[in-house]
């Protein structure tokens, strides 16, 4: 004896499969986030939507200068990784030194020009400090308007890093990579 399937059951499996794929991708691979505030300007702007790779949670590929999403107690934060576990950091005369080597922060070029015109420092001096094991030191690109490892967030534990920003997807006219 043959059984007949109803026409309605044909669409259920593809929809269920699509929902499962979306859940897996958003949970383990990529997820969209919205930037809130001006702490990452000029790199990222308030209300831009970014795509974040979550593979750093299980691959552990966070590098210096990556833009990361950090899980806070009530909010998530978008910041740039300045120091890796074990790094010694020092800021002198607007110049970053990591492990006693001068680091060029090309992403700050616009702000350094403005700061020089106004005879002001972009970043106050600090350090030398050593980043603890399994922690990171982060700062916003807009150093005057950023709560970060210097002034409120402290060192960031590895488990607080949700992922690494890869693309700006919205508004469409601003689409670009964030690396």
Judge whether 118 counts as a catalytic residue.
Answer: no
Select which of 39, 56, 149, 165 is catalytic: 39
In three state form, how does the secondary structure of the chain look? CCCCCCHHHHCHHHHHHHHHHHHHHHHHHEEEEECCCCCCCCCCCCCCEEEEECCHHHHCCCCCCCEEEEECCCCEEEEEEEECCCCEEEEECCEEEECCEEECCHHHHHHHHHHHHCCCCCCCCEEEEECCCCEEEEECCCHHHCCCCCCCCCCEEHHHEEEEEEEEEECHHHCEECC
Catalytic: 39?
A: yes
Q: Considering Cα of 77, then 33, then 158, then 126, what sign does the dihedral take?
A: negative
Instruction: Point out the catalytic residue in the list 53, 56, 79, 165.
Output: 79
Residue 103 pairs in a beta bridge with 96
Q: Report how far residue 178's alpha carbon sits from residue 117's, in angstroms, rounded to the nearest whole number.
A: 27
Active site residues: 39, 79
């Amino acid at each position: 004896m043959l059984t007949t399937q109803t026409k309605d059951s044909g669409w259920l499996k593809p929809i269920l499969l699509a929902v499962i794929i979306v859940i897996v991708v958003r949970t383990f691979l990529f997820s969209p986030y919205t930037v809130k505030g001006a702490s990452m300007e000029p790199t990222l702007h308030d209300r831009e939507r970014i795509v974040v790779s979550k593979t750093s949670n299980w691959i552990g590929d966070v590098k210096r200068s990556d833009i990361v999403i950090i899980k806070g107690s009530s909010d998530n934060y978008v910041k740039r990784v300045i120091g890796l576990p074990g790094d010694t950091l020092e800021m002198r005369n607007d110049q970053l030194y990591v492990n006693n080597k001068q680091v060029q922060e090309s992403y700050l070029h616009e702000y350094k020009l403005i700061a020089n015109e106004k005879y002001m420092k972009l970043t106050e001096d600090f350090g030398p400090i050593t980043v603890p094991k399994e922690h990171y030191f982060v700062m916003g690109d807009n150093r005057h308007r950023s709560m970060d490892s210097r002034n409120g967030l402290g060192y960031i534990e590895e488990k607080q890093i949700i992922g690494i920003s890869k693309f700006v997807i919205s508004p469409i006219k601003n689409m670009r990579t964030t690396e």
